[in-house]
C-alpha cells in the first residue's frame, strides 16, 4: 500500500498526536508500544485503523488492497489490516494474502457492522482455490451479502478463522458452490453455521446456535454444540474435549495504547471458547520485546542476531528471501507473522530450524520452497531430540507450506517434527497442482510431514500432492484430529510411482511399522489422477497393534481415472471414479465408536 497523505484532512494534528498515528510512511500506524507514544514500525503493508477515522477513509484502503488481492492467487503482495478497539461500519472483503485482526483482549472489543466476507475466487461460485486469508479476533454483525444477517465465508485451505464472534449466522460457501475445506477455532456464532457443499471442515473449541450440512468429513473437537448424527451419514466426527491446546498468540492494544502479544495458557480437556469470561487466560509480552522484521531489509543473518540477543520476532507482511535458516534456539521464543509473511530459502537450506527447547511458539508463517532443493522447509528440533516438556510444549499455529505455484520450488520434506510433545494447530502443506513451475520433475517434494518425535498432537492436518508419503509418522503416541489429503495428480505412470515392487503408489498416511501407539479421527483421502493406469493400493498404512486406532475414514476417487484400492492396508472397498469409498472395519486396527 502506498502513502495515504489525505489523512491530514480528516484529523487535526493534535488529535493525530493524541492517538499516536504516524504522519509519514505507507499507512497510518497507531503508537502503542512501550513506552506509550512510540509507533510500531509495521511498514507499508500494514494498515492500523482507529474508530475515529472516517469510514470512507478506511473503506478506501480496504478497497485498494482488495483490487489487487481479489484474484492474486500467486502474487507477491502481502497485507494485514489491524483494527483498534471500537465500532466500525464497513464492507470488508478479504482477498488472497490478507489477514484481518482485531486488537482487543476479547473479540467483542472490536465490532464491525457490515459485510465481512470471503468470496469464491473462481467462476460459478467455485471456492476450491480460495486460499490464504484470515479473520481473527473481532466481532461482526453481518448486514450485507446475499442474505442479510448471514456472513459469507466461502473458503478452502489455509484460511484461519480464530477468536471470532458472529452476531448472526454464517455460511461456508457461496451460493451453494463447491468448496474444499477450512478451519474454525475459538469462535462463537450466535446463529446457524451452514456448511452447504463444503467437502470437509474442522471446528475446534467453538460454539454456535446450530450447524447444518455435511459432506465427506466434518470434525468437531471440543465443540459443546456439535451437531448430532452418526458417521458415516452424516459424516460427523465428534470429540467432546480437546486434550491439550494452547491458542494462537495474538496482538493486543490496551486502554493505555500499549501494544503487546498475548500468549494463551496451555489448557487440557478444553471445550468451548477461551474468552467466555471476557479475555483469554495467559500472559502478555510487551511488543518492545519483539524485533519487527521487514522484507527486503532484514537478512537471515540480521534476524538470527536479533534472536541471539534475546528478542522475539514479528514478521511484517512480505516475502523474505533467506540465504540461511532462521535459527530459533532460546526456550519460550515467539516467532509470529502478519499478513502471510513468507519465508523462502534461496540457497537449498531450510527456511527455519528450532532447538529442542520448551515453549517455542511459531505462528502465522508461510514457508515457500525455493528453486534449489532444501532438506526441509521447517525442522522443529534437531534429529535425535530427546527432551520432553508436556507442560510447555513447542507449538505451531497457522503454519503453511507451498512447493511450486508461484514458481519452481523443491524440497525433500516440508515440515519435520523431531521434538517430543509438539502441538500442530492448523497447517496446510501443499505441493502445488496448478500455477507456475508445476510438474512431476519441476516442483519436487517427497513428503509433506515427517514426525519423529513422540506424543505429537495435530489438529487440522491438510497435506496434499507430495510424491511419496504425504505423512510419515515415525514417533510413538501421536494423535491427529482431522486429516485431509489429495494424493498427487501427476504421477506419469505406475512404474515411476511405487513404494514397493508389489505396492502401487505411496500411502497418504503412513504410521511406521515399529510404532506401538497412534490414534487418528476423521480422515479423508482423495485421488484426482491425470494419467491412465495409475492407481493407489492403500490410502493408509499402519502396523497391526491394539494401540493403533483410526476412527472414521473415507476415500473418494474424483474425475475419471484410477482408483484407491483399499482404505487401510487391505481393508475397505475400492474408491473408483464416481463412487465414494465406504468406511470398513478391520477389528485388528480400527475402532469406530
* Mean pLDDT score, 475-489: 98
Element (H, E) at 60: helix 55-69
Whether the pLDDT of residue 468 is over 50: the answer is yes
Look at 105 and 584; give whichever has higher pLDDT.
Answer: 105
pLDDT > 80? residue 196: yes
Per-residue pLDDT tens digits for 511-520? 999 999 999 9
Task: Please write the tens of the pLDDT for every residue from 76-87.
Answer: 999 999 999 999
Q: Distances in Å between the alpha carbon of 593 and those of 5, 334, 337, 546, 551?
A: 61, 38, 39, 15, 7
DSSP 300: H
Please write the tens of the pLDDT for every residue from 528-578: 999 999 999 999 999 999 999 999 999 999 988 999 999 999 988 888 886
Q: Average pLDDT, stretch 37-54?
A: 88
Average pLDDT in the chain:
91
Residue 505 has pLDDT above 60, yes or no: yes
Catalytic residue among 486, 519, 547, 563: 486
Pick the closest to residue 30 from 85, 94, 87, 89 (CA basis). 85
Write out pLDDT tens, residues 321-357: 999 999 999 999 999 999 999 999 999 999 999 999 9
Instruction: Write down the pLDDT at residue 589.
Output: 37
Quick one: 392 exposed, middle or buried, by C-beta within 10 A (0-12, 13-18, 19+)? middle
Quick one: 495 exposed, middle or buried, by C-beta within 10 A (0-12, 13-18, 19+)?
A: exposed
CA distance 13 to 378: 46
Is the per-residue pLDDT at 116 higher than 60?
yes
**Per-residue confidence (pLDDT) for residue 2, from 0 to 100:** 32
User: In 3-state terms, what secondary structure has residue 562?
Assistant: coil
pLDDT the model gives residue 147: 73
Closest to 104 (Cα-Cα) out of 268, 284, 234? 284
Give the max Cα distance, the chain. Answer: 76
- Dihedral pair phi/psi, residue 495, rounded to 5°: -60, -30
Distance CA 560, CA 117 (A): 34
486 noted as active-site residue:
yes
Task: Examine the pLDDT at 38 and tell me if it is beyond 70.
Answer: no
Residues shown for the chain:
593
Q: Name the pTM for this structure.
A: 0.92
SS3 48: strand
Region 109-123: mean pLDDT is 97
- How many CA atoms does the CB half-sphere of 458 hold within 13 Å? 31
Amino acid at each position: 500500500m502506498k502513502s495515504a497523505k489525505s489523512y491530514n484532512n480528516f484529523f487535526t494534528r493534535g488529535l493525530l498526536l493524541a492517538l499516536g498515528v504516524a504522519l509519514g510512511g505507507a499507512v497510518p500506524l497507531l503508537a502503542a508500544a512501550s513506552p506509550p507514544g512510540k509507533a510500531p514500525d509495521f511498514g507499508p503493508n500494514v494498515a492500523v485503523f482507529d474508530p475515529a477515522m472516517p469510514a470512507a477513509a478506511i473503506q478506501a484502503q480496504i478497497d485498494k488492497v482488495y483490487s489487487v488481492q481479489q484474484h492474486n492467487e500467486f502474487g507477491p503482495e502481502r497485507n494485514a489490516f489491524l483494527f483498534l478497539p471500537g465500532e466500525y461500519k464497513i464492507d470488508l472483503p478479504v482477498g488472497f494474502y490478507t489477514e484481518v485482526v482485531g486488537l482487543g483482549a476479547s473479540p467483542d472489543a472490536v465490532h464491525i457492522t457490515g459485510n465481512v466476507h470471503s468470496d469464491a475466487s473462481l467462476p460459478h461460485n467455485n471456492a476450491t482455490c480460495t486460499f490464504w486469508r484470515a479473520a481473527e479476533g473481532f466481532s461482526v454483525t453481518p448486514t450485507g451479502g446475499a442474505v442479510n444477517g448471514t456472513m459469507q465465508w466461502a473458503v478452502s485451505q489455509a484460511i484461519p478463522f480464530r477468536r471470532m464472534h458472529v452476531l448472526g449466522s454464517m455460511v461456508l460457501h457461496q451460493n451453494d458452490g463447491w468448496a474444499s475445506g477450512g478451519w474454525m477455532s475459538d469462535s462463537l456464532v450466535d446463529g446457524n453455521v451452514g456448511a452447504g457443499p463444503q467437502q470437509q471442515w474442522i471446528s475446534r473449541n467453538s460454539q454456535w446456535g446450530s450447524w447444518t450440512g455435511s459432506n465427506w468429513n466434518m470434525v468437531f473437537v471440543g465443540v459443546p454444540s456439535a451437531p448430532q448424527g452418526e458417521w458415516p451419514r452424516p459424516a460427523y466426527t465428534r470429540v467432546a474435549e480437546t486434550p491439550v491446546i494452547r491458542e494462537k498468540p495474538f496482538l493486543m492494544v490496551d486502554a493505555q495504547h500499549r501494544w503487546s502479544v498475548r500468549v494463551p495458557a496451555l489448557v487440557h480437556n478444553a471445550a468451548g471458547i477461551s474468552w467466555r469470561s471476557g479475555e483469554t487466560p495467559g500472559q502478555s509480552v510487551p511488543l518492545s520485546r519483539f524485533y519487527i522484521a521487514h522484507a527486503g531489509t532484514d537478512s537471515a543473518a540480521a534476524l538470527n542476531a536479533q534472536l541471539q540477543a534475546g528478542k522475539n520476532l514479528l514478521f511484517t507482511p512480505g516475502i523474505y528471501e533467506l540465504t540461511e535458516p532462521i535459527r530459533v534456539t532460546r526456550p519460550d521464543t515467539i516467532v509470529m507473522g502478519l499478513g502471510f509473511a513468507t519465508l523462502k530459502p534461496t540457497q537449498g537450506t531450510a527456511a527455519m530450524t528450532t532447538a529442542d527447547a520448551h515453549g517455542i511458539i511459531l505462528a502465522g508463517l508461510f514457508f515457500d520452497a525455493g528453486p534449489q532443493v532444501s532438506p526441509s522447509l521447517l525442522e522443529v528440533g534437531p534429529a535425535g531430540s530427546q527432551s520432553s516438556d508436556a507442560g510447555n510444549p513447542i507449538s505451531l499455529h497457522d503454519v503453511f507450506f507451498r512447493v511450486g505455484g508461484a514458481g519452481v520450488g523443491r524440497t525433500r520434506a516440508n515440515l519435520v517434527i523431531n521434538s517430543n510433545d509438539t502441538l500442530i494447530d492448523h497447517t496446510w502443506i501443499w505441493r502445488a497442482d496448478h500455477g507456475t513451475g508445476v510438474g512431476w520433475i519441476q516442483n519436487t517434494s517427497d513428503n509433506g510431514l515427517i514426525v519423529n518425535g513422540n506424543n505429537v498432537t495435530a489438529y487440522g492436518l491438510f497435506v496434499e500432492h507430495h510424491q511419496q508419503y504425504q505423512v510419515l509418522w515415525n514417533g510413538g503416541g501421536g494423535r491427529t484430529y482431522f486429516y485431509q489429503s489429495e494424493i498427487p495428480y501427476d504421477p506419469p505412470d505406475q512404474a515411476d510411482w511405487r513404494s514397493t515392487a508389489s505396492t502401487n503408489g505411496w500411502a497418504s498416511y503412513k504410521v511406521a511399522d515399529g510404532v506401538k501407539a497412534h490414534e487418528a479421527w476423521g480422515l479423508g483421502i482423495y485421488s484426482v489422477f491425470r494419467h491412465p493406469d495409475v492407481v493407489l493400493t492403500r490410502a493408509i498404512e499402519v502396523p497391526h497393534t491394539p494401540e493403533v486406532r483410526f476412527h472414521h475414514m473415507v476415500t473418494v476417487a474424483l474425475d475419471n481415472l484410477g482408483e484407491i484400492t483399499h482404505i487401510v492396508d487391505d481393508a475397505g472397498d475400492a474408491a473408483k471414479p464416481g463412487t465414494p469409498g465406504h468406511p470398513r472395519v478391520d477389528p485388528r486396527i480400527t475402532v469406530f465408536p
